[in-house]
Chains A and B, each alone.
Chain A
Amino acid sequence: MTSKIPVSDLLAHRDGEHVDPRLSAEIEADSESRAHLKSLREIKHALNELPGVEPADEVWQNIDQRLRLNENLERQRGFKQRYPWANLATAATVFFAAVLSILWWNPGDEGVTGLPTAPLSDLVLRSQQLESQVFYPQAKRRVPAGQLAWNSSQQALLYRIADVDSELNWYYEDQLPDPQERERLWRQRVELLESLVEVQRRQKPSLRMALY
């Protein structure tokens, strides 16, 4: 289909844009142009009649997951802003855990140190073992920082561990003699680390794929 009048002019006429009245008259007088114009209107109508497209079901799930992840990251940023010394506190707690576990290797020293009873020492030791289980494999593989990002569940657990560590840190700094509270915190730390190990274990196949 061809007409003497350029498509751009026919489109302008179709859309009611400002056009020269002589051009409008020319279109009306020419059957080819009229047919072309009709075709342009039909195409526009067909485009406007196209239906919406339902996205796949997993799109909403992905959105939900991303929102949660962003929330966690936001919370992490907020935590770091509020407690800029949190990393230091975590490191200090890990150091405490290491020192305490070394001390408790020798059961005879318990009375001398005046430090926790056997169940508590077990918790501290277990906490240390779990911690090396979580962090050691990454260090061993020499994965560059940032390449192996924690997923949202792992991040959530790490924040909670950091919270417990802060509490433990305050506890040791203030030297409050409350063995029950101390034991509760260490037990909580062990449980959180166990969850982290479990999440990491489930993730391993995808982790390998990401690495190789």
Chain B
Amino acid sequence: MAKFADLQLDSGVARGLQRGDRRAQATAYRTLAPMVMGMAMRILQDEGIAQEVVQDTFVELIEKAHTLKDPHAVLGWVRKVAVNHCLMRLRSPWHKRRVTLELVDDADVTNDSTRLEDRQDIERALGTLPAETRMVIWLHDVEGYTHKEIGTLLGRTASYSKSQLARGYQTLTLLYGGSRDDIEDSGIRSARTS
């Protein structure tokens, strides 16, 4: 599972990070990097940029770990830094331009001709959403952020976060939820799981 809430970082590793211990840094990276990468990949939908986020997050963690007063705060801190780096990239003019170009190609995702081949693929369904909507869905549904927290992060209101979540789910339901019902109706699902 790709969420931070499921992770645990040994307190010895956290203290080692604070001391600048090389082995603790490597352990923290092995433990946390897949979560950071997973989140960045799902939000940014670009492997290269997601790897940049991982790099920036861990450089910041290692360089500033000595300033952390509470070793238990490491996980929350890493998540916060990673989310900020994702947001920075979403807001960069370069990323916006790239996304605009991509949206021209995938303008109508609900159209039959552009429907997903594998409708069970939640990742691909997520990838069809606008970047900010993806971020709202991920932060709310996976990372457990409240609408108020997301609104503050995005410089918007809690209502904006709620509306983005609802919009995103409308598309996800069509691409993923609806498809699962169709599969269930046709009996394919039970055949797959048996």
Contacts and interface: CB of A to CB of B under 8 A. Distances in A.
* B partners with A: yes
A4 to B, nearest CB: 15
State which size class the interface on B falls in: 35 or more
B95 interface: no
Contacts of A54: 33-34, 37
Interface residues of A, number: 31
B173 A56 contact: no
B43 to A, nearest CB: 12
B84 interface: no
Interface of A: 1, 6-8, 11-12, 35-36, 39-40, 42-44, 46-56, 59-60, 62-63, 66-67, 70
Query: What 7 pairs across the A-B complex have the smallest Cβ distances?
Result: A52-B34, A39-B177, A8-B166, A46-B122, A52-B38, A53-B37, A7-B166
Contacts of B62: 63, 67
Specify which of B37, B41, B51, B141 lies most central, judged by the most chain A CB atoms within 10 Å of its CB.
B141
Given A39-B180, A53-B2, A47 B137 contact: yes
A56 B42 CA distance: 16
A1 B182 CA distance: 10
B74 interface: no
A55 B37 CA distance: 6
Contact of A8 (B26, B55, B162, B176): B162
Interface string B110-138: 00000000000011001000000000011
Provide the main secondary structure of the chain B interface: helix
A48 B178 contact: no
Interface in B22-60: 26, 29, 33-35, 37-38, 41-42, 50-51, 54-55, 58-59
28 contacts: A1-B173, A1-B174, A1-B178, A7-B170, A8-B165, A8-B166, A11-B166, A12-B162, A39-B181, A42-B176, A42-B180, A43-B172, A44-B141, A47-B138, A47-B142, A48-B142, A51-B1, A51-B2, A51-B38, A52-B37, A52-B38, A53-B2, A53-B50, A55-B33, A55-B54, A59-B33, A63-B62, A67-B59
Provide the main secondary structure of the chain A interface: helix
Contacts of A70: 59, 63
A44 to B, nearest CB: 5
Contacts of A39: 173, 177-178, 180-181
A36 B55 contact: no
B38 A50 contact: yes
B50 to A, nearest CB: 8
B29 A63 contact: yes
A62 B54 CA distance: 10
B98 to A, nearest CB: 20
Given A36-B173, A43-B172, A53-B50, 20 more contacts: A7-B169, A11-B162, A11-B165, A11-B166, A36-B177, A39-B178, A43-B122, A43-B173, A43-B176, A43-B177, A46-B176, A50-B1, A51-B34, A52-B34, A56-B51, A60-B26, A63-B55, A66-B59, A67-B63, A70-B63
A39 B171 CA distance: 12
Contacts of B178: 1, 39
A40 B37 contact: no
Contacts of B2: 50-53
Contacts of A8: 162-163, 165-166
Specify which of B2, B163, B169, B174 lies most central, judged by the most chain A CB atoms within 10 Å of its CB.
B169
B160 to A, nearest CB: 12
A43 B55 contact: no
Nearest to B147: A17
Contacts of A52: 1-2, 34-35, 37-38
